[in-house]
Each structure stands twice: as C-alpha cells, then as structure tokens.
Amino acid sequence: MVVRRNILPMRIVYVSPYDWAVPGGVNRHIEVLADLMTALGHEVTIIAPASAPVTTTNVQVVADTVSLPASGSQVRIAIDPRIKRRINNIFADNQFDIVHLHEPFMPVIPLIALRASRRYNPGASNVATFHATRESGNPLYQIGKYFLTRSFDALDGRIAVSPTAQKYIQRYFNGSIRIIPNGIDINHWDDVNLDPIFSLLKDKKINILYVGRAEKRKGLEVLLEAFETICTQRDDLRLVVVGPDSSNRRRYQANMSGSLAGNTTWVTNPTYTELPRYHRSCDIFVSPATGNESQGYVLMEAMAAGLPIIASDISGYSHVVRHGKEGLLVSPNDSADLARAIIQMADDPSLRKSLANYGEERVKAYSWPTISAELIDFYRELIRAR
C-alpha cells in the first residue's frame, strides 16, 4: 500500500475488546490501521486482551480472555479484575490525541478505556467504531440502555462500518454516526505473481469458492444443499470450502452424499497469506449468509481478487454488491434459488467476466489508503471541535 506521510502527527490509541492472539476481522482492521497510521508518522498504541504472548511492540495486553457467544459467533473477550488498574496506568502515563474504541459496548475493555480517557486524558477526542449488526436486536442493549446511553453520549465521534451497522445502533441510541467502511488491501488479493492451487486446475472443472466459518449464519448448509442438487445434474463443477476447522468439516462430511463429497474440496484454516491463492484458482465466489452481516468483508476480498459473486440478498451485502453489477443476489436460506444462480453463472463466461470487472472497479472505493484518509479527516474534525 502506498501512503502519504502526514506532517501533523497524532498520538492515537486503538482499543479492542477481542483476543489479540486469535485472528478476527476487528483486530485485523485495527492492525492494518495501526500500520498505516504509523507509516504516516503518527504514534500508535493498541490496547487489547490476549490468550497467548504477543510480540508486537505497540500492543499493550491488559488481560486474558474467555469465549462468549455474540451475533451468531463465538468471540473471546476479557474478564479480569486487574483490567481497570492496567488501563488506568496506560492512560495516566500517556497523553493521547485520539482514543479510538472498537465495538465499544462489548465487555469490558472499551468502556473502561473510555472512562480512563476522560479522567486522565481530558483533552483527547474519544471515537468509537461499531462493526456488528444483529437483525433480531440486542437484548443487552435494551436492558442496559440507560447506562450505555451515558457512554454513547460521552463519545466525541461515532463510526459505523456500513448503513446496516448504523441502522442497528440507531435502534437504541440517538446521535450522529458517520459511515466509514472497513478498508481492504487490494494488492494482497490481486497480486499477479500469486501461484494458484494447481490441484484445483488439473481437470478443467469450474471451481466455486466459499470462504468462512462453519456457523449457521454463514449459510454453508444452504450451499451444500444447493450444490448437492447441482451434482445430481452435472459433474463439471467443484465446490471449494475454505475455512472450517477439522471437527466441523467432519460433521458436514458425515452427512454428504457420494456425488457431493466427490465434488467438494475442503481446506482447513488457511493463513491470510494463503487465502488469495484459492481465489486465484477459482471461478465464482459464493457467500450464502443468512443475516447478521454488517458489511460483507469476504465480498470485498472476492471483488479485489477479480471474482464474480453470488451472495444472499441481505442488507449487509446489498450495500456492497449490486444485483447484476458485481454479482447475483439470491434469496437467503433458499438452496433452490442459490443452485439456479450457480448454474446460470457457471454456464455464462461473459457474465462472469462482466461481474468481475464491475467488482474490481467498485472495490477501489474501499482501498485502505482511501479509507484511512477519510478516517484522518474525521480525526482532525474531532480535534478541531474540542
């Protein structure tokens, strides 16, 4: 990524509630932002919990973590009586210009950091990014609305990564929320020097790529049902399932028919570096998520990699992919509709090319240099307003 150096450095602290030792979208977002801001000449600190040693020098680990369910996923967050003292010490020893909380209402680090900032860094601008959405609502927000509203109102700036995330938060709290999307490192996904996975290319089959966890809301069961229907009609397509761990893979495989099993390739826990090689080796990207998606980062990755997309027509996705432009949108939880879309795209190379071209253009708006510049402008705006 090419970044432009900024001549007015800021002291920025990013605060994450999530286990820094476990890969995840929010922490990856913070990590890339921290690198970009450092390259621009800003001084960056990260506060987070961690379940294993962290070697990154600018990460201040304040607690171990436990696993809890959240928005259809499992997240690892911190619960430790020593957190408050450790965070207070960090803020007492530093004078930050920007305190940027991520998922500020996720227990418990962000809210402790907000209180410490207001006590020890009264000149700082406190900003928060809301990443998640939950279509059924959040009973904890409803129950704790009185107390959380005080923290929401104490923020100088609020960010949502998409209109879907913005609407979700505004169900519970009143106030302006700026939309600044997640960014993406386009060069990571469209590197022409990437080697494909040659085993996926040897038989000339059309490769259908799925990337994601084996959670119900990701729609993998719907995709397998759709692909099983396709396998009864033809055998020139292959489903490449990337991401589920070994135990979940075995659970799915135990219920697969012979034709489905024979045309499905499983890839367990690839690294971030390896992932683009699978995109390079496939022809179509499918994401059949059923809901609770705030932006659809996997769709941005697919567009950056030059793949046409088939995705569920849910609010978090339809803001990123337009039907008939970057992809085809299908009814969520509808395996028949999904199967029809896969067959349509597999049989139409010109459609695949057109959708991919639109996607490569659209994803440029989400490039990290573009997003980080927008974020810096927001930081400056908040600092001027104090």
pTM of the model: 0.89
> Same structural domain for residues 133 and 255?
no
Q: Is the pLDDT of residue 215 over 60?
A: yes
> Same structural domain for residues 289 and 146?
no
Domain count, the chain: 2
Other Cβ atoms less than 10 A from the Cβ of 102: the count is 25
> Same structural domain for residues 113 and 38?
yes
Look up residue 198 and give its two tokens.
């040659």
Rounded Cα gap, residues 284 and 350, in angstroms: 13
> Same structural domain for residues 194 and 119?
no
Please check whether residue 4 lies inside any domain of the structure. no
pLDDT band at 225 (very low <50, low <70, confident <90, very high): very high
Tell me the CATH number at 275. 3.40.50.2000
> Same structural domain for residues 215 and 357?
yes
pLDDT of residue 5: 46
**Could you tell me which of 303, 305, 296 has the C-alpha nearest to residue 276?**
305
> Same structural domain for residues 280 and 356?
yes
Beginning with the edge strand found earlier in the chain, give each strand of the sheet holding 264-268 in spatial order: 264-268, 237-243, 206-211, 284-287, 309-312, 327-330
Please check whether residue 329 lies inside any domain of the structure. yes
- 81-92 tens-digit pLDDT: 899 999 999 999
> Same structural domain for residues 214 and 173?
no
Residue 289, classified by CB atoms within 10 Å of its CB into exposed (0-12), middle (13-18) or buried (19+), is buried
- 369-380 tens-digit pLDDT: 999 999 999 999
Average pLDDT over residues 109-137: 95
Please check whether residue 202 lies inside any domain of the structure. yes
Question: Phi/psi of residue 303, each to 5°?
Answer: -65, -40
- 255-296 tens-digit pLDDT: 788 889 999 999 988 888 999 999 999 999 999 999 999 989
What percentage of the chain reaches a pLDDT higher than 90? 77
pLDDT of residue 1: 52
pLDDT of residue 214: 80
Q: Which domain, by its residues, includes 304? A: 187-365
Q: Is the pLDDT of residue 172 over 90?
A: yes
Please check whether residue 222 lies inside any domain of the structure. yes
Segment among 100-104, 137-141, 213-217, 347-351 with least mean pLDDT: 213-217
pLDDT band at 61 (very low <50, low <70, confident <90, very high): very high
In DSSP notation, 11-69 reads: EEEEE--B-TTS--HHHHHHHHHHHHHHHTT-EEEEEE--SS----TTEEE----EEEE
Please check whether residue 89 lies inside any domain of the structure. yes
Higher-pLDDT residue of 249, 209:
209
> Same structural domain for residues 128 and 195?
no
